[in-house]
Amino acid sequence: MNQEYNVLAEEAGNRIDRYLSERNQEISRSYIQKLLKDESVLVNGKTVKSNYKVCAEDKILVNIPEAVEPEIEPEDIDLDILYEDRDIILINKPKG
């Protein structure tokens, strides 16, 4: 999914990671920094680092990859269950 932003004059001077986290509060700042590191953020067609300060009229394109559901396979393991009822289970975890 691509998102586009045009920086206004009053927004100039902010770090790009902060600017993007303020514009899209659904994405964490650390994830934005990862996108910057992965070169998924372009400013005026060029990649930038997370300390880049946005300028008025910058055109920012953010490519957010689609979320992939991990395939988790259950394991058949023996558990030493000490107590179990409807609300709680107590499992003995061996040391080591």
Residue 59: which pLDDT band, with cuts at 50, 70 and 90? very high
Query: Mean pLDDT, the chain, as a whole number?
Result: 93
Residue 67: is its pLDDT beyond 90? Answer: no
Residue 30: is its pLDDT beyond 80? Answer: yes
pTM beyond 0.75: no
Nearest residue to 7 via CA among 18, 28, 51 = 18
Count of alpha carbons within 13 Å of 34, Cβ hemisphere only? 7
Q: What are phi and psi of 37, to 5 degrees?
A: -65, -35
Q: How far apart are CA 96 and CA 89, in angstroms?
A: 21
Residue 53: which pLDDT band, with cuts at 50, 70 and 90? very high
Nearest residue to 51 via CA among 85, 78, 10, 14 = 14
Give the mean pLDDT of 45-63.
Answer: 95
Q: How many other C-beta atoms can be found within 10 angstroms of the C-beta atom of residue 38?
A: 11
Residue 95: which pLDDT band, with cuts at 50, 70 and 90? confident
Torsion angle of the four alpha carbons 73, 79, 82, 83, in this order, in degrees rounded to the nearest 10: 30
pLDDT of residue 85: 96
